[in-house]
């Protein structure tokens, strides 16, 4: 069985009397350790699909199996638990808590998991070291550069040992050089720790770091291609 | 499981971010709590003063007044017809089992002179039982005895106010004072009682043996006449019984037929005082209720600020939800903020309320008493206000859609 399996996922929003279909019978399977880019113009349904994959939203039709469990019918709290344990989010706007140190930002997912204080600190420091921010644990987000903030966010996504990282335009707010560095970090995590990475982007040179490209258009997948061998 | 100490630290930090706002929100609670404490202190101070006055009257006290006259269908007030005698008093003491002690009284106003000082006061002729009935002790000298009453000796006990006016700092015991030009030897001084419930100075009086008053000072319409009889019941529970027994004895002694009205009245003073005490209690409750309204307004202030804060922090809520915060994690986080605000406000309010009541009693001269009950009440109430008014904003926050919250700018 596939690690991530979306079967005939559809999502309809009702705006008053009008029904708007954001996704129409989308099916996609992703295996453990894949590095997938999801591409497409805005309004193509890629963000809606990402929200469903990230358990932030529920599909109105179809089935979503994550690691063998059907999550499409779960309630808020069960979904929160799945997000906490299985999915690490990396956003375009970093989404760190302001006035909260890098260390505490990274510790946050472990609070909601109920990890003991000393273990929390130890693991958070290790995660910060992994993303190349050793020694910066007491900095606040406004004292860090964009690239460093995104590294803190990646450390936060890693710290609960989530098998999946969902990155929504992670380089959208960064300059080219920093973008390359961040993508390099993703490639390394994917290769070294076999973390499944799903990346939403509309920039081809960012998507080029991944090994599979899924293209959305008008609520459907129109292209799904795999690279034989690229960066490693 | 929600991590409470961590949530508390988180809440404190969030409150520190907006120091001015948090302080102003707490001010509502501070004012409410201190108002409740100060008002209850004023009320219970008044209650305590009345209780003290009641016990200064003497406990379980009944007063028998002579009856009213009826002349040509016109009924006069109680006491207009002198009908009570020392014989009645003796009979009650001997025959009524529910009665502990009896003191007949014949009193009148008189001018008292010591050398060049003079003073007008109430001279009370009574028996030695009087001191026991009123629960009164002497601050000096000795009380008069049954022998003094029997022999109608000219001895007297002075109240403190009389001593102050006639003797100043001098010790009056053993001195001679002239009451209506008759020389009396001062044998004792009555302890200080202070004001009565009606505001009379209870220390402005002189006690002399009953017979001396009857025969030498005031004269009587008939032998053995007394103005009133004071009775101490055996216990509060037996007062009604004592009242019935006294009525039976007096009706029999006064030869009153079954269809005729009593020619005397028995008053239960303790009951009267208790009514006064009760009305003060009601006043206390009323003051407390009015003060609680300001506490309520303070609570609404908390709710208002929490709602604003949740709107401002929508994105933070979204981040927390994406990372794995469950419904109750979010709720407890915001409830904790409201709770801590009201708790700190409550603590400061208690301090201010205690300080305020001290200032009130110093400046306005009102008796105040801060009870531990009112402190407990105020702290529980302010905590409850925090949770009650914090719940709706916290509930609202926990129902946010994580996607919308994350996108909120």
pLDDT in tens, B257-278: 887 788 888 888 777 777 877 8
Chain A positions in Cβ-Cβ contact with residue B323 (cut-off 8 Å): 83-84, 89, 108-109, 112, 156
The answer on pLDDT for A232 being more than 50 is no
Q: Is residue B66 part of a domain?
A: no
Write the DSSP symbol of residue B60: S
Task: Provide the shortest C-alpha distance from residue B383 to chain A (in Å).
Answer: 26
Q: Is residue B204 part of a domain?
A: yes
Q: Is residue B192 part of a domain?
A: yes
The answer on pLDDT for B78 being more than 80 is no
Report in angstroms the alpha-carbon separations of B360 from A13, A121, A163, B275, B373.
65, 53, 67, 26, 20
Q: What percent of chain A has pLDDT over 90?
A: 85
The answer on pLDDT for B379 being more than 60 is yes
Q: Which residues contact B187 (CB under 8 A, 6 or more apart)?
A: B141, B142, B143, B144, B155, B156, B157, B173, B174
Continuous segment of H or E residues that includes residue A15: strand A4-15
| Binding-site residues on chain A for chain B (CB distance < 8 A) | 51, 54, 56-57, 76-77, 80-81, 83-85, 89, 91, 95-99, 108-109, 111-114, 156, 160
The answer on pLDDT for B326 being more than 70 is yes
Q: Quick one: CA torsion of B344, B349, B350, B351, rounded to 10 degrees?
A: 100
Verify whether the Cβ–Cβ distance A57 to B325 is below 8 Å.
no
Residues B239, B304 within the same domain: no
The answer on pLDDT for B304 being more than 90 is yes
Q: Are strands A164-168 and A196-200 parallel, antiparallel or unpaired?
A: parallel
Task: Provide the shortest C-alpha distance from residue A85 to chain B (in Å).
Answer: 8
pLDDT of residue B271: 72
- Listed residues B227, B262, B297: the one ending a domain: B262
Average pLDDT estimate for B138-144: 89
Q: Is residue B76 part of a domain?
A: no
Task: Provide the shortest C-alpha distance from residue B399 to chain A (in Å).
Answer: 9
Per-residue tokens: B101: 């002690």
Q: Which residue of A has its CA nearest to B329?
A: A112
Task: Provide the shortest C-alpha distance from residue B325 to chain A (in Å).
Answer: 6
Chain A positions in Cβ-Cβ contact with residue B17 (cut-off 8 Å): 99
Average pLDDT estimate for B317-346: 94
pLDDT of residue B393: 95
Of the candidates A51, A91, A109, the beta carbon closest to that of B324 is on A109
Q: Which domain holds residue B350?
A: 4-53+275-407
Q: What percent of chain B has pLDDT over 70?
A: 95
Q: Is residue B270 part of a domain?
A: no
Verify whether the Cβ–Cβ distance A97 to B321 is below 8 Å.
no
Q: Which region holds residue A61: left if phi is over 0, alpha if psi is between -120 and 50, else beta? A: beta
Verify whether the Cβ–Cβ distance B327 to A77 is below 8 Å.
yes
pLDDT of residue A14: 86
Q: Which residue of B has its CA nearest to A160?
A: B323
Q: Is residue B269 part of a domain?
A: no
Q: Which residues contact A202 (CB under 8 A, 6 or more apart)?
A: A39, A40, A41, A42, A169
Q: Quick one: CA torsion of A80, A86, A88, A89, rounded to 10 degrees?
A: -50
Q: How many residues does chain A have?
A: 232
Task: Provide the shortest C-alpha distance from residue B389 to chain A (in Å).
Answer: 24
| Tally of structural domains, chain B | 2
Verify whether the Cβ–Cβ distance A99 to B17 is below 8 Å.
yes
Say how far apart CA B18 and CA B16 lie, in whole Å. 5
Say how far apart CA B360 and CA B353 lie, in whole Å. 10
The answer on pLDDT for A21 being more than 60 is yes
Of the candidates B6, B17, B323, the beta carbon closest to that of A109 is on B323
- Listed residues B235, B262, B289: the one ending a domain: B262
Residues B40, B116 within the same domain: no
Residues B48, B190 within the same domain: no
Q: Which residue of B has its CA nearest to A87?
A: B323
Verify whether the Cβ–Cβ distance A97 to B17 is below 8 Å.
no
Using one digit for the tens of pLDDT, what is the confidence trace for A26-85?
Answer: 999 999 999 999 999 988 999 999 999 999 999 999 999 999 899 988 999 999 999 999
pLDDT of residue B197: 64
Residues B246, B108 within the same domain: yes
Verify whether the Cβ–Cβ distance B322 to A97 is below 8 Å.
no
Average pLDDT estimate for A100-124: 94
The answer on pLDDT for B409 being more than 50 is yes
pLDDT of residue B235: 84
Verify whether the Cβ–Cβ distance A95 to B6 is below 8 Å.
no
Using one digit for the tens of pLDDT, what is the confidence trace for B166-189?
Answer: 998 889 999 999 999 899 999 999
Chain A positions in Cβ-Cβ contact with residue B4 (cut-off 8 Å): none
Say how far apart CA A172 and CA A153 lie, in whole Å. 14
The band of A171, judged by pLDDT with boundaries at 50, 70 and 90, is: very high
Residues A194, A198, A203, A204: is their CA dihedral positive or negative?
Answer: positive
Residues B280, B391 within the same domain: yes
Yes or no: say if A220 and A41 are a contact pair by the CB < 8 Å rule: no
The chain-wide mean pLDDT, for chain B, equals 87
Verify whether the Cβ–Cβ distance A114 to B3 is below 8 Å.
yes
The band of B69, judged by pLDDT with boundaries at 50, 70 and 90, is: low
Verify whether the Cβ–Cβ distance B319 to A95 is below 8 Å.
yes
Task: Provide the shortest C-alpha distance from residue B16 to chain A (in Å).
Answer: 11
Verify whether the Cβ–Cβ distance A85 to B324 is below 8 Å.
yes
Residues B216, B297 within the same domain: no
Q: Which residue of A has its CA nearest to B400?
A: A76
Q: Are strands B61-66 and A220-226 parallel, antiparallel or unpaired?
A: unpaired
Continuous segment of H or E residues that includes residue B307: helix B269-312
Yes or no: say if B124 and B208 are a contact pair by the CB < 8 Å rule: yes
Say how far apart CA A33 and CA A45 lie, in whole Å. 24
Of the candidates A76, A96, A156, the beta carbon closest to that of B327 is on A76
Which residues are bridge partners to B138 per DSSP?
B190
pLDDT of residue B361: 87
Q: Which residue of B has its CA nearest to A47?
A: B403
Average pLDDT estimate for B77-95: 80
pLDDT of residue B307: 94
Task: Provide the shortest C-alpha distance from residue B335 to chain A (in Å).
Answer: 17
Residues B302, B221 within the same domain: no
Residues B224, B352 within the same domain: no
pLDDT of residue A152: 96
Say how far apart CA A220 and CA A232 lie, in whole Å. 30
pLDDT of residue A196: 96
Q: Which residue of A has its CA nearest to B328?
A: A77
Domains detected in chain A: 4-226 (3.40.50.300)
The band of B332, judged by pLDDT with boundaries at 50, 70 and 90, is: very high
Of the candidates A85, A111, A156, the beta carbon closest to that of B3 is on A111
The alpha carbon of residue B1 and the mean position of all alpha carbons in its chain are separated, in whole angstroms, by 50
Residues B132, B250 within the same domain: yes
Mutate which of A111, A153, A166 to test chain B, going by most B C-beta atoms within 10 A?
Answer: A111
Of the candidates A57, A112, A114, the beta carbon closest to that of B323 is on A112
The chain-wide mean pLDDT, for chain A, equals 92
Q: Is residue B77 part of a domain?
A: no
Residues B100, B14 within the same domain: no
| Binding-site residues on chain B for chain A (CB distance < 8 A) | 1, 3, 6, 13, 17, 315-316, 318-327, 329, 402-403, 406
Residues B48, B101 within the same domain: no
Say how far apart CA B313 and CA B308 lie, in whole Å. 9
Write the DSSP symbol of residue B217: I
> Nearest 5°: CA angle at B131, between B128 and B133?
105
Verify whether the Cβ–Cβ distance A83 to B406 is below 8 Å.
no
Q: Is residue B19 part of a domain?
A: yes
Average pLDDT estimate for B81-105: 89
- Listed residues B230, B262, B294: the one ending a domain: B262
Give start and end residues of each alpha helix (H) in A59-218: 76-86, 102-113, 117-130, 146-158, 176-193, 204-207
Q: Which of A176-190, B70-84, B294-308 has the lowest mean pLDDT?
A: B70-84
Task: Provide the shortest C-alpha distance from residue B334 to chain A (in Å).
Answer: 15
The answer on pLDDT for B55 being more than 80 is no
pLDDT of residue A9: 94
The answer on pLDDT for B322 being more than 90 is yes
The answer on pLDDT for A231 being more than 50 is no
Q: Which residue of B has its CA nearest to A165?
A: B323
Residues B257, B282 within the same domain: no
pLDDT winner (highest mean) among B134-143, B167-176, B312-321: B312-321
């Amino acid at each position: 069985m596939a690690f991530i399996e979306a079967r005939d996922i559809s999502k309809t929003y009702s705006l008053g009397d009008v029904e708007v279909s954001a996704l129409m019978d989308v099916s996609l399977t992703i295996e453990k350790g894949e590095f997938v880019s999801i591409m497409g113009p805005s309004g193509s349904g890629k963000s809606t699909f990402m929200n469903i994959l990230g358990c932030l939203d529920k599909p109105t039709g179809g089935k979503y199996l994550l690691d063998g469990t059907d999550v499409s019918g779960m309630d808020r709290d069960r979904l929160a638990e799945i997000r906490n344990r299985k999915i690490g989010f990396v956003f375009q706007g970093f989404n760190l808590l302001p006035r909260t140190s890098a260390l505490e930002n990274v510790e946050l997912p472990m609070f909601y998991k109920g990890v003991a204080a000393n273990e929390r600190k130890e693991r958070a420091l290790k995660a910060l070291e992994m993303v190349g921010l050793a020694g910066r644990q007491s900095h606040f987000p406004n004292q860090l550069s964009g690239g460093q903030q995104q590294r803190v966010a990646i450390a936060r996504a890693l710290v609960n040992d989530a098998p999946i990282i969902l990155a929504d335009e992670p380089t959208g707010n960064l300059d080219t050089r920093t973008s390359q560095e961040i993508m390099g970090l993703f490639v390394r995590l994917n290769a070294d720790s076999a973390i499944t990475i799903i990346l939403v982007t509309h920039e081809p040179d960012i998507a080029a770091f991944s090994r599979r490209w899924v293209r959305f258009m008008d609520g459907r997948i129109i292209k799904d291609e795999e690279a034989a061998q690229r960066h490693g | 499981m929600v991590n409470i100490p961590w949530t508390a630290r988180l809440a404190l930090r969030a409150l520190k971010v907006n120091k001015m706002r948090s302080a102003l929100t707490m001010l509502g609670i501070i004012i409410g709590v201190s108002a409740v404490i100060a008002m209850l202190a004023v009320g219970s101070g008044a209650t305590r003063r009345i209780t003290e006055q009641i016990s200064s009257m003497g406990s379980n006290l009944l007063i028998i007044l002579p009856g009213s006259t009826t002349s040509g269908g016109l009924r006069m007030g109680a006491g207009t017809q002198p009908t009570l005698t020392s014989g009645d008093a003796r009979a009650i003491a001997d025959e009524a089992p529910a009665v502990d002690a009896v003191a007949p009284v014949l009193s009148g106003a008189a001018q008292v002179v010591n050398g060049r000082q003079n003073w007008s006061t109430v001279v009370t002729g009574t028996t030695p039982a009087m001191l026991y009935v009123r629960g009164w002790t002497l601050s000096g000298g000795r009380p008069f005895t049954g022998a003094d009453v029997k022999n109608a000796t000219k001895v007297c006990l002075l109240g403190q106010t009389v001593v102050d006016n006639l003797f100043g700092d001098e010790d009056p015991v053993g001195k001679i004072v002239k009451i209506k030009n008759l020389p009396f030897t001062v044998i004792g001084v009555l302890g200080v009682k202070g004001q009565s419930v009606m505001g009379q100075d209870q220390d402005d009086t002189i006690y002399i043996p009953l017979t001396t008053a009857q025969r030498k000072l005031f004269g009587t319409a008939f032998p053995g006449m007394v103005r009133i009889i004071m009775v101490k019941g055996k216990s509060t529970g037996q007062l009604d019984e004592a009242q019935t027994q006294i009525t039976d004895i007096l009706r029999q002694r006064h030869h009153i037929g079954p269809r005729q009205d009593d020619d005397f009245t028995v008053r239960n003073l303790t009951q009267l005082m208790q009514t006064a005490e009760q009305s003060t209690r009601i006043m206390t409750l009323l003051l407390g209720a009015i003060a609680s309204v300001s506490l309520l307004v303070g609570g609404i202030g908390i709710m208002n600020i929490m709602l604003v804060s949740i709107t401002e922090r929508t994105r933070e809520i979204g981040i927390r939800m994406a990372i794995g915060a469950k419904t109750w994690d979010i709720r407890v986080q915001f409830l904790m903020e409201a709770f801590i605000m009201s708790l700190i406000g409550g603590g400061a309010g208690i301090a201010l309320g205690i300080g305020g009541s001290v200032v009130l009693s110093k400046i306005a001269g009102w008796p105040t008493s801060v009870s531990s009950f009112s402190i407990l009440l105020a702290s529980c109430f302010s905590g409850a206000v925090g949770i009650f008014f914090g719940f709706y904003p916290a509930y609202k926050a926990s129902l946010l859609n994580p996607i919308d919250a994350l996108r909120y700018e």
